[in-house]
């Protein structure tokens, strides 16, 4: 565009524009490269104005072709099976997000269980980070923010605090005779629920925006494949789909 005749009227820019146009069309295979003196002489017979006019026409045709291809691509994004899937994911994402918010204010379930195994694992990547794992008699695994060995040795019987609708584990509560000890659960859907909600709400944003940009295309693919898959995983794990259907009573 810097040497386009409509922007730069100098003769040198015009000649460079013609050379670049010819080179581009040769590289994309639109026309063959000149190999004989005869082909060169025929090209030279044309006046500079004619060559500029032809070059401008070719660029216009190429831009129009690219515009039509882009329009066809984006039209396909907004129809068909993928678009219907994305619209359903948008609806489901809004419902799940609202229920997750409600889960923060509704009463909690308390499930009695016993700890059958625990482990302290420390990863040293410049600083020490504790990863405290417990396994219960029901086969569930939980990572705790901190872990006291007495929780396994002396007081293995615990209550697991869970949210009402989705039964997301929140805290391990241990009755240690003189007091109740609470052990917050980390690395769970509940501890990361605000991040999870961002991906759940991404499809509804994509459905309403409808932009024809590269960033929109990336967001479209992320919402279609990642967000939708995350919702499916969220509902399947720990039978959350059943808790959702029964509104948390089962």
Predicted pLDDT at 122: 56
Q: What is the pLDDT of residues 73-113, one digit of tens each?
A: 778 888 888 899 999 999 999 999 999 999 989 999 999 99
| Burial state string for 142-178 with b = 16 or more CB within 10 A and e = fewer than 16 | bbbeebbeebbeeebebbbbbbbbbbbbbbbebeeee
Residue 148 is encoded by which pair of tokens? 């006291």
Predicted pLDDT at 155: 86
Distance of CA 63 to the CA centre of its chain: 31
Confidence of residue 41 (pLDDT cuts 50, 70, 90): very low
Predicted pLDDT at 128: 52
The residue written with tokens 């809004």 in the block is: 94
Given a cut of 90, is residue 145 above it in pLDDT? no
Asked whether 189 and 210 are in contact (CB, 8 A), the reply is no
Confidence of residue 71 (pLDDT cuts 50, 70, 90): confident
With a threshold of 0.75, does the pTM exceed it?
no
Highest-pLDDT range among 48-62, 85-99, 173-187: 85-99
Q: Which residue has the higher pLDDT, 119 or 142?
A: 142
Q: What is the 3-state secondary structure (H, E, C) of the chain?
A: CCCCCCCCCCHHHHHHHHHHHHHHHHHCCCCCCCCCHHHHHHHHHCCHHHHHHHHHHHHHHHHHHHHHHHHHHHHHHCCHHHHHHHHHHHHHHHHHHHHHHHHCCCCCEEEEEEEEEEEEEEEECCCEEEEEEEEECCCCEEEECCCCCHHHHCCCEEEEEECCCCCCEEEEEEECCCCEEEEEEECCCCCCHHHHHHHHHHHHHHHHHCCCCHHHHHHHHHHHHHHHHHHHHHHHHHHHHHHHHCCCCC
Q: What is the pLDDT of residues 233-247, one digit of tens each?
A: 999 998 999 999 998
């Amino acid at each position: 565009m810097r040497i386009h005749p409509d922007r730069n009227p100098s003769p040198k820019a015009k000649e460079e524009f013609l050379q670049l146009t010819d080179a581009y069309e040769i590289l994309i295979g639109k026309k063959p490269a000149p190999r004989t003196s005869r082909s060169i002489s025929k090209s030279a017979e044309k006046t500079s104005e004619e060559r500029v006019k032809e070059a401008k026409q070719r660029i216009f045709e190429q831009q129009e072709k690219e515009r039509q291809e882009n329009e066809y691509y984006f039209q396909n994004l907004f129809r068909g099976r993928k678009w219907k899937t994305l619209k359903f994911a948008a609806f489901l994402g809004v419902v799940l997000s609202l229920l997750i918010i409600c889960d923060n204010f509704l009463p909690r379930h308390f499930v009695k269980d016993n700890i059958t195994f625990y482990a302290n694992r420390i990863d040293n990547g410049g600083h020490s980070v504790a990863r405290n794992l417990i396994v219960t008699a029901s086969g569930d695994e939980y990572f705790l923010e901190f872990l006291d060995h007495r929780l396994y040795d002396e007081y293995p019987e615990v209550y697991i605090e869970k949210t009402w609708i989705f039964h997301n584990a929140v805290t391990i509560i241990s009755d240690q005779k003189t007091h109740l000890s609470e052990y917050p659960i980390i690395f769970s859907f509940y501890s990361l629920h605000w991040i999870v909600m961002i991906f759940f709400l991404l499809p509804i944003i994509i459905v309403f925006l409808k932009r024809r940009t590269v960033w929109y295309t990336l967001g479209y693919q992320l919402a279609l494949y990642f967000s939708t898959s995350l919702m499916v995983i969220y509902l399947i794990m720990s039978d959350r789909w059943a808790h959702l259907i029964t509104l948390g009573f089962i």
